[in-house]
Chains A and B, each alone.
Chain A
């Protein structure tokens, strides 16, 4: 949950499972390094499997970068709750946050790799989404 280079696009990982979100973040940190703001959230507010909007908003705040934030999600509610969280952001921030259509673990690593090279948000999203291309 560190924010070491605020110039690069931030990465947020949203999974139904706390362990998956944390593990995916571990992979990003070990494979890509510390040059990318990174945050993760997983589980509902009672600690069970699920996602919650407040947790996603907090993660976006933690990974915030002027270059924007790319969100990687797993299934269903992770996506809809992430979209809801984006809608709740201040208007000037809303346009700089995107939800990627990519597998959560692989997408997070690829998005972070792209971000670590200083790529803009659109390129980070496009690169993560190459998995489904």
Chain B
């Protein structure tokens, strides 16, 4: 019995070796591909990169590379980038939130991408977006998925209130007050969100021709909250917030649903809402778009946000990374990859951006800018400003006091990097 089992085992071993030998001798060996590791936001993968077969298309054009996407949740993008760098496991290509780029540059997490930029026709890109990613004479990020805000409004309700579509910030405030008296909210958003004071209602500050801080002629960061325009803006914002829901916890999905249901008259509108919010309107014709309103100084500022491509400073395959970026930034590819808007204006000729819903965005993004200069203390600045901003909107302090407190605290923070 034991001898029989032994014979059987040896026979099985011999057969396995025979088959393995045959497999290695017969087929031609495929060329070895080098891996390009790319870190992207889960939503970008789910909505665009995956469904549009970006991986297969790139590998067909560049058969020597094998793309490996790693999807990360939005609130973990920065942490994942930093931790992978600290552990020597840098990604080759990183999807970087524009506000995080300065922090990564300061921490030597990303490498210069000058040679990729040299291959692109930058005249089709937003000059402000491109220059914002330049530090110490080198580019560290290339915008590929920017976004900006436009004004969406319920034209049916505004007409019923007896108003024309809003063109200026004064018009917006008049409509807000009249609508609130009739039981409508002017706009809707969560005050507890840090981005509320800079991108949401805070984004309208750009219409006053000012930013939270800017770079002066000496290259120093200077807070602009001590200007009359800032105080004037805060008065406007305080009066607007009085006509908005006071639930500081209000999430974006609920606010946008209320807009679609006709409970909210106007809303700052981003590109991603075209797919998510427009279908919720009972009558699509009720929703109209306009560029951001003109402020007292005649400026229609729009807060720009979005993402950039960067290359990890410890990338294992920088050549593969550059090849991917050069390919992905072509206008016909950008529309297939970006979730917000394409950075190259030629991409609007291709699907899905060659539809009327994006016309307003195309015009607006040319005038859009980041609400503040990109610095390594950006997140702290937002949190610092959001405190007096929220207190003012809640009526606890006056706009003058909010600007005074905000100026002192924000400038103190900026002085740590000046």
Mutual binders A and B: no
Using CB atoms and an 8 Å cutoff, list the residues of chain B in contact with chain A.
Answer: none
